[in-house]
Each structure stands twice: as C-alpha cells, then as structure tokens.
Amino acid sequence: MSTTAWVILLIANLPVYWLLGWVVFREWEEFFECVRFWLTPDIISAFNGEYFDDIWGEMRLGLWAVLCGVSIYSEYYLLMKYFVHR
C-alpha cells in the first residue's frame, strides 16, 4: 500500500503543484527564469551582474519544491493515520 499511495498522491496532486507554482511564480516566464538560474553556476551569474537575481530565483524554486514535498508528505501522513491504520 505504501508505494501505491505515494504514486497516487504524486499524480493526484498535479493541480496542487500548479496552484503552488502560481502562488510562488505568478507566470510561466518567472518559473523558467528560475530554472535557468538554477542551471547556471553562481559565478557565471555574478559575472553577468545577475547574482542576486540568481539567488532569489533559486530560493523561489527551492521553496516551491519544499511546499510540494510537504503537501505530499502531510497528505500521506493523514491518509495513513486516519484511514489505513484504524
């Protein structure tokens, strides 16, 4: 049940990921810019004069990933606590 529940939650939460992405990024351009900053080494961003934008973009992308992970874990925890192990 454990692996199946994780997979179902990962797929069923696609709208939650989208909603959290909208809250953190507001539009797709900002999301792709954050991914670009994540893939670009910090030293390159510093030479291009985008160091602080790079740090901010990486932080937002990390925040989004953590929020998505927390939502899945909390749903799994509640599912196991209240519905499976009764």
The one-digit pLDDT tens for each residue of the chain (86 residues) are 588 888 999 999 999 999 999 999 999 999 999 999 999 999 999 999 999 999 999 999 999 999 999 999 999 999 888 887 66
Q: What is the pTM of this model?
A: 0.86
Domain that holds residue 11: 2-84
Q: Which two tokens stand for residue 70?
A: 């927390």
Count of Cβ atoms closer than 10 Å to residue 60 Cβ = 19
The domain tally of the chain equals 1
Task: Give the CA count within 13 Å in the CB-facing half-sphere of 42.
Answer: 6
Strands (E), 2-78: none
